[in-house]
Amino acid sequence: MNVPQSYRLVRRDARERRTVVRLKNGATFGGEEIAICAGPCAVESAEQLELTARAVAHAGANVLRGGAYKPRTSPYSFQGLGEEALKMLRHAADLYGLGVVTEVLDPRDVEKVAQYADMLQIGTRNMQNFSLLSEVGRMRMPVLLKRGLAATVQEWLLAAEYILLGGNESVVLCERGVRSFDVATRNLLDIAVVPLLEDLTHLPVIVDPSHAMGVARLVPPIAVASIAAGAHGLLIEVHPDPANALSDGAQSLDCDQFTRLMDVLVRAAELSGRRLPRNGRRPRPASESAIVSVIESRAVR
């Protein structure tokens, strides 16, 4: 890869060691433990969020996700509950020892979102919103930088460079699929970037199979594949009642499906020489054949 001069701080040889990003609750991205971020696409109510937080924590997730400010394609779609949702996220996460990752859409909201969240998510539509990148670069808290809808790896790394240049070194990259000619899945997951980025940057990389696939049934096998490819974490949409979700219901796992997936991911992590967080997890044995069945995507039908 021909690296431009400006691509200095994120490149692999800019640091002796790989970056490990740690949230206040102890969740780590980039170490031996794989971070599991799970929760609804959008925060809809306190009840919806607490049910989800409880279920994902008991299944072993260590970070609660949920949108308070939603980047919806249509201005008529549900836009999120704003600061009320931020309060609900903080409350539900604290009940179960979870960290909070949530998207910030507007540079003017960065300080406010930072009061409640442990990690600021920059969504795919904002990957090249340079004023937003500079604003989160001024913060001293972890940032989850999703790959742009049609961003090259180099554009993505240069977006991360903006954040590091502001002095914020706690950046995690998130592959969530890119636009392609083929609409058979919502986006085309570029799983090759997981090992590729391992060579190009010291920053950790996680995968979001939910937005990549767009269909819940395809999420478990791709989550397993992401761990096998070396991802340092997963971002998975979970909803207690996906059929009635206000956004992204089709790609959301229900709480039982997520719990079954986590049983399999424990084994996948072991096979790749790493481990899942313990958190509130109640251990249940999963056989090798459970891995096979999830790869064949029978597990959540």
Residues near ligand PEP (CB under 6 A) are 41, 67, 71, 123-124, 146, 176, 211
Q: Which residue is nearest to ligand PEP (CB)?
A: 123
Burial class (CB in 10 A: 0-12, 13-18, 19+), 273: exposed
Residue 301 near residue 292, CB atoms below 8 Å:
no
Amino acid found at 126: N
Q: Considering only CA atoms, which of 83, 199, 205 is closest in space to residue 144?
A: 205
Which residue in the set 109, 161, 248, 263 belongs to the binding site for Mn ion (CB under 5 A)? Answer: 248
Which one of ligand PEP, Mn ion, none is in contact with 146 (Cβ closer than 5 to 8 A by kind)? ligand PEP
Q: Does residue 245 interact with Mn ion by CB under 5 A? A: no
Which one of Mn ion, ligand PEP, none is in contact with 123 (Cβ closer than 5 to 8 A by kind)? ligand PEP
Measured from the CB atom, the residue of 15 and 72 that comes closer to Mn ion is 72
Q: Considering only CA atoms, which of 126, 48, 135 is closest in space to residue 92?
A: 48
CA separation, residue 199 to residues 40, 203, 232 (Å): 32, 10, 14
- Going residue by residue from 14 to 53, which x/- string records binding to Mn ion, judged by CB under 5 A? ---------------------------x------------
38-54 b/e (C-beta count within 10 Å ≥ 16 → b): bbbbbbbeeebbbbbbb
Q: How many residues does the chain have?
A: 301
Q: Which stretch binds Mn ion (CB under 5 A): 134-142, 189-197, 218-226, 246-254?
A: 246-254
Residue 34 near residue 277, CB atoms below 8 Å:
yes
Measured from the CB atom, the residue of 41 and 127 that comes closer to Mn ion is 41
Minimum CB separation from Mn ion for residue 72, in Å?
10
Q: Which residue is nearest to Mn ion (CB)?
A: 41
**What does the block give as tokens for 80?**
């999120």
Which one of ligand PEP, Mn ion, none is in contact with 99 (Cβ closer than 5 to 8 A by kind)? none
Which one of Mn ion, ligand PEP, none is in contact with 124 (Cβ closer than 5 to 8 A by kind)? ligand PEP
Q: Does residue 103 interact with Mn ion by CB under 5 A? A: no
Which one of Mn ion, ligand PEP, none is in contact with 209 (Cβ closer than 5 to 8 A by kind)? none
Measured from the CB atom, the residue of 204 and 293 that comes closer to ligand PEP is 204
Q: Alpha-carbon distance 68 to 114, whole Å? A: 12
Q: Alpha-carbon distance 67 to 121, whole Å? A: 9
Q: Does residue 208 interact with Mn ion by CB under 5 A? A: no
Minimum CB separation from Mn ion for residue 291, in Å?
26
Minimum CB separation from ligand PEP for residue 15, in Å?
26
Measured from the CB atom, the residue of 161 and 208 that comes closer to ligand PEP is 208
What is the per-residue DSSP string for 202-225?
Answer: SS-EEE-HHHHH-SGGGHHHHHHH
Q: Is 280 helix (H, G, I), strand (E, B) or coil?
A: coil
Q: Which residues bind Mn ion (CB under 5 A)?
A: 41, 248
